[in-house]
Amino acid sequence: MREVAIVAFAQTRHTLTDTGLSEPELLLPVLDEVRERTGLRRFGFTCSGSCDYLAGAPFSFVSALDALGAWPPISESHVEMDAAWALYEAWVRLQHGDVDTALVYGFGKSTLGDLRSIATLQLDPYYLAPLGLDQLSLAGLQAAALGAPQAELDEIVRRSRTDGLANPHAPDLPLEGDAPPVTDGAAAVVLAAGEAARELCARPAYLTGLAHRIEPHYLGMRDLARSASAADAARAAGVGKGHVDVAELHACFAHEELILRRALDLPPETVVNPSGGPLAANPVMATGLIRLGEAARRIHDGDATRVVGHAAGGPCLQHNLVAVMEAGHG
């Protein structure tokens, strides 16, 4: 396997209201930032993550390519899900050995519509959607199954929102409510393989483990108080093979952080979501990629040597991706 590292990461200042920017306008500053950090103008492969339902238009991701400048032609792909899975596809592409760099980006304008209604459309149309479930009611079912003390949940919310105030990319939020804010935003990372990683970054964040697992869509077929798929992905990625300085978890609700901590078997000394996490800013389709980027940034800045980034998709932590990153490889 080729050694692949995250060598650059950038994100927008996430907003609670529609700024009037088009998706290419939202993306362009982020793409310019990673280009400036790496000195690259073109990449061997490009992959993005977004959701047509947010924009209300089919193939809406195509218009975002205007921010890239797709001439001369580029090698490009897209996933209709969080851009963390676009990073996974780019990592697989780099294993082929014919290209050395990849650009990954994700974006979402959640303020354009009713996010709770839009997310409900992802549920099974025959058995789940007719129940009238949305993100909050699904979260309530899982929280009830877990049965964690309210004081413990409140402390997670308080810490996340407080840490978010120190994050220049997160909007100012009141310290209330156990639900992710509805935010617009975008993020991008650059992956590089082999010698290119060392040339483009002084302290690359090498992806030493990367895996994703999924569980049944139907809530009655799994134990909502635990996340078997997150635990399986963590084992496959090798989370437990060493210490973990920092873990950025895609926990949109306080009880999800507790479930994920246990699934990933994180020790008490691991710092979780120092960026504030999704409870501070939740630009749908970029939130998971941001978790990987924020974790990698701790290595870039010299604050950590081994970190974990996590992304989730589907109802009640149905689909989980886990990435282990380390400094000093190569």
Q: Which residues of 115-140 are buried (b: 16+ CB within 10 A; e: fewer)?
A: beebbbebbeeeebeeeebbbeebbe
One of 3.40.50.261, 3.40.47.10, 3.60.20.10, 3.30.70.920 is the CATH number of 4-113+182-200, namely 3.40.47.10
**Widest CA span in the chain:** 57
Rounded to an integer, what distance in angstroms lies between the CA atom of residue 164 and that of residue 243?
25
Would you write out the chain's pLDDT as a tens digit for each of its 330 residues?
899 999 999 999 999 999 999 999 999 999 999 999 999 999 999 999 999 888 887 888 888 888 988 778 899 999 999 999 999 999 999 999 999 999 999 999 999 888 888 888 888 888 888 888 888 999 999 999 999 999 999 999 999 989 998 999 999 876 556 889 999 999 999 999 999 999 999 999 999 999 999 999 999 999 999 999 999 999 999 999 999 999 999 999 999 999 999 999 999 999 999 999 999 999 999 999 999 999 999 999 999 999 999 999 999 999 999 999 999 865
Q: Which DSSP string corresponds to 203-231?
A: S-EEEEEEEEEE--SSGGGS-TTS-HHHH
Q: Is 186 within 8 Å of 107 (Cβ atoms)?
A: yes
Q: Dig out the tokens for 121 from the structure.
A: 């459309």
Domain ranges of the chain: 4-113+182-200, 132-166+204-326
Helix spans in 77-182 (H): 83-94, 115-120, 135-146, 150-165
One of 3.90.1170.40, 3.40.30.10, 3.40.47.10, 1.20.1050.10 is the CATH number of 132-166+204-326, namely 3.40.47.10
Q: Which of 225, 269, 226 lies closest to 247, judged by CA?
A: 269
The pTM for the full model equals 0.96
Name every residue whose Cβ is closer than 8 Å to that of residue 36 and which is 6 or more positions away in sequence: none
Does the fold of domain 132-166+204-326 match that of domain 4-113+182-200? Answer: yes
Between CA 114 and CA 264, with CA 49 as vertex, the angle to 5 degrees is 90
